[in-house]
């Protein structure tokens, strides 16, 4: 059992308004582990840790609608493609001593069979095949994903989707997804989210599914 070093930074006592992002420099790995334990599983915030910097992001309430819609869209597309998957939500992924990250949403697709029934991550588990972040763009976040080795990361922010693919150890922006190669997601997702604000997530997704049947 790993010993947890008490942390002197009272992170759980910080009063952060929705939409806030706070960066704390010079955080050791032991402090990071202790902060995770301090915050617990129902912290209402997202964390990213890389190169000694801890970033705490408190999402806005309206962040939930795009997150859920994009997650549902991914499931719809994978089902239409006949591909199986295992969703892992906002599980905390770590590379011991180096980085830690909590996605808004993530999926195992290529490696889904290996992760079926996994209640706790193991040291030799692969990273998720796809991670999604909404309303957050930061160097710390991308560095954490890079260190953990997530092959594909989507960031939806301010009505725009950016797709990052890991290539030779760095993230490169692409117009298309490696998983959904022939689907113009950078156009579809912003339009779908905007439609959802007008008619709700369920109807927006139903309309998209109806159109998708004509592809």
Read off the pLDDT band of 5 (50, 70, 90): very low
CB 144 within 8 A of CB 101: yes
pLDDT of 136-178, one tens digit each? 667 899 999 999 999 999 999 989 999 999 999 999 999 999 9
Predicted pLDDT at 146: 97
- Give the C-alpha separation, 154 to 132, whole Å: 5
Give the strand order in the sheet containing 46-50.
Answer: 21-24, 53-57, 46-50, 99-101, 93-95
Phi, psi at residue 55, to the nearest 5°?
-115, 130
Q: Is the pLDDT of residue 101 over 80?
A: yes
pLDDT of 109-128, one tens digit each? 999 999 999 999 998 999 99
Mean per-residue pLDDT of the chain: 89
Q: Where are the beta strands (DSSP E) in the chain?
A: 21-24, 46-50, 53-57, 86-87, 93-95, 99-101, 105-108, 130-134, 152-157, 160-167, 170-174
CB 175 within 8 A of CB 182: no
Go through the domains of the chain in sequence order and give each one's CATH number. Answer: 61-212 (3.90.1570)
């Amino acid at each position: 059992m790993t010993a947890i070093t008490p942390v002197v930074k009272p992170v759980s006592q910080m009063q952060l308004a929705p939409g806030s992002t706070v960066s704390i420099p010079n955080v050791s790995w032991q402090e990071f582990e202790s902060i995770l334990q301090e915050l617990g599983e129902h912290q209402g915030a997202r964390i990213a840790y890389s190169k000694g910097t801890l970033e705490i992001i408190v999402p806005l309430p309206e962040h939930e609608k795009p997150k859920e819609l994009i997650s549902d869209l991914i499931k719809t597309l994978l089902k239409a493609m006949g591909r199986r998957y295992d969703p892992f939500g906002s599980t905390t992924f770590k590379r011991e001593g180096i980085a830690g990250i909590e996605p808004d949403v993530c999926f195992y697709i290529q490696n889904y069979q290996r992760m079926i029934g996994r209640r706790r991550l193991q040291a030799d588990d692969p990273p998720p095949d796809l991670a999604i972040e909404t309303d957050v763009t930061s160097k710390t976040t991308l560095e954490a994903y890079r260190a953990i080795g997530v092959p594909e990361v989507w960031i939806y922010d301010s009505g725009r989707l950016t797709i990052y693919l890991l290539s030779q150890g760095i993230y490169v922006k692409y117009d298309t997804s490696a998983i959904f190669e022939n689907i113009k997601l950078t156009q579809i997702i912003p339009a779908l989210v905007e439609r959802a604000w007008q008619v709700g997530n369920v109807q927006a997704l139903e309309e998209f599914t109806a159109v998708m049947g004509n592809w």
